[in-house]
Each structure stands twice: as structure tokens, then as C-alpha cells.
Homo-oligomer: A and B are copies of this chain.
């Protein structure tokens, strides 16, 4: 199938993981058996059917350089999996700074470029032939997310929101995307294997077995820009993570999204989970868990499915918030309640069918 044409906002670790991973998988022996990949194919789109046709950032070290070099520029610290990425020649363009560069991260960003207008960006998106725009700036940049969502909407390019900032689940934005005939996917990327799903699984299991949760906590640590950002902008994340645990025991559970920005960890993420419960005759049962993951691999393994879904939706002529990804995002669109992985596959089948009928519109 024709590759999915992708534009990117924010050339951080997640994009480094995504771009390098695609390069790694291009060398796999069997395209149907890729370790670490949930779905080799989404509709007809293989993991490697991805073309990076535009990219935006504001960091001096990234703007003006080919994407294949920019992904390795500091403060990015995802490991280098390949010696170079000669095929990724798309040059990173100057984006709009706005609030996407919080003061607590600003030492990692160069001098502000000339700020851009929405129509500039929309025009550039149109010229690139992008089918979807992947939004991946630091959490909590309300101005930036609105700016780029508007640009995608004007350019008729599907929008994928990796952050907890409200787009896909916001009734106003949802209506505007629907009217404009443009699909939107989001909000807030779930991790491939994260602390929230592990914590929720443990709490449920313990409760199901008849033990009573007495107290529990979850603390996350990391060494990339996201953890540095969350130290300051963590409250929304904390509420989102806390809500994700559900349960009647929520007053006995404490959650800390970023317990520390630990430079020595680089892009590694550590989660500590503790569960204490009362069993038969009041006996205490305790579970201690440590999760250690490559944070951005954990993101890229989910992004790869979301962007293919968005491109399929656009090829199918779908408009507005795409349902079916509730297992892959933490805050799905209103009414999208089926959190099973199957819901995703069902949505893909429908969109793929429609896209095929439309004959691959682009």
C-alpha cells in the first residue's frame, strides 16, 4: 500500500524512537513477525509503510537539519540504534514557539525563531502532501496544541494528539474537525507497557481475589525532557493517572507522575508500585513492583498504530474524532468507551474497507 505520509511537530525522543524503529524494522527478515510490534499491519499499512514528509521544531540544534540527524540532537537522549539515517532527508522547519517551550525547559532550546502563523504551517503541510500531523510537544502547551490543531484542520490533514491537552475529547474541537471533514485521533498516549496499566491490573487482581486494598502508591522517575516538564506541569497528569486506576479504593492510593527528573536515567523510565491489602483474618499481603522501560520506545510502539489509524481514516473520508483507539489513549473522545484492543481492530477493518472503496483518495 502507498506509504502513510506523516508530518511531525516536536522532534523529541518519541520521534527518535519512531524513526529509528521504522529503520530497524525495515531490515527484519519476516515482515509479519516483528518483535515488540503489536500489529505488523493496520489495514494494509505495514509498520514500515511510513514516509516522514514534514517536521517542525524550534530548537536551534534541530531546525534546518535533516530529520535523520535532528533526532539525535540534545536534549534528545533516546539511544542510537542505527549508525545513521540517510533516508530521512526531510529538513526540520522552524515551528511556532508559543508556550511549547516552558521556561523550566528553556535552556535546552535555542533563540526564538521568527514565529510562524497558522496559515504558514497549514500551507507547508499542504505542500508536503502530509496525510496526518503527529503532535508531540511537551504536555501542558495549551497555546501550541491549539495552534497546530488549527493548522491541521485548515490544511485538511488528520491530527494525532499524543498529549493530555484537550482536542479529540473537546466538544468544540470535535465539532470543528467534523465540519471540516478532517479526522482527529487522541488524546494522551497510553504507554505500550506503563505504570498505569500495571497498577490498575494489580489493584483489580487483588480486589477480585477478595482482599481489601489498604494502601497503595505509584511513583515514576525519568531522565528525559518529559519528566523535567512534569515536575512543574504534573497535576493534570496526576489526576489523569489517578482516574485511570478507577476503583472504590482511590482514597487509599497515591500517584506521582514524576517523582524526579534524574539525568542519569536518560530516556529510561522507572515506575515503583506498592500495594498493601488485607486478606483472611486481616493478614497483610504486600506487592512491590519495579517497572523499567525505554520511555520513548514505549510511546513509539503506540504512536505507530495511532498514525496508521489516522491515515486510514483520512483515506476513508472520515470526519471528526475517530473511535476505536480507547485502548491506546488515556482520554478518548466522548462516547468512545470500548477499551478492548479488539475495538481498534474492528475500527481498522471498517475504515480500511471504506478507504479501499474510495480508491485510495490521495
List the interface of chain A (C-beta within 8 A of B): 17, 20-21, 24-25, 35-39, 81, 192-193, 197-198, 201-202, 205-206, 208-212, 215-217, 219, 221, 223, 252-254, 256, 259-260, 262-265, 270, 272, 274, 277-294, 297-298, 300-301, 304, 341
Contacts and interface: CB of A to CB of B under 8 A. Distances in A.
B198 A211 contact: no
26 contacts: A21-B281, A36-B282, A192-B279, A193-B211, A193-B285, A201-B201, A215-B265, A217-B221, A217-B264, A219-B221, A219-B259, A219-B262, A221-B256, A272-B272, A279-B293, A279-B294, A280-B300, A281-B297, A285-B291, A286-B291, A286-B292, A287-B290, A287-B291, A288-B289, A288-B292, A289-B289
Contact of A254 (B252, B264, B293): B264
Contact of A208 (B291, B293, B341): B341
B198 A264 contact: no
**Those 4 A-B pairs whose CB atoms lie nearest each other, nearest first:** A38-B210, A259-B259, A283-B297, A280-B301
A303 B278 CA distance: 17
A206 B219 contact: no
Nearest to A290: B288
Nearest to A191: B209
A246 to B, nearest CB: 16
A210 B279 contact: no
Contacts of A38: 209-210
A221 B259 CA distance: 9
A274 B289 CA distance: 10
Contacts of A25: 281
A161 B192 CA distance: 42
A265 B39 CA distance: 30
Most chain B CB within a 10 A radius of its CB, from A81, A293, A341: A293
A301 B289 contact: no
A296 to B, nearest CB: 8
Contacts of A17: 280-281, 283
Given A81-B282, A193-B209, A290-B288, A217 B262 contact: yes
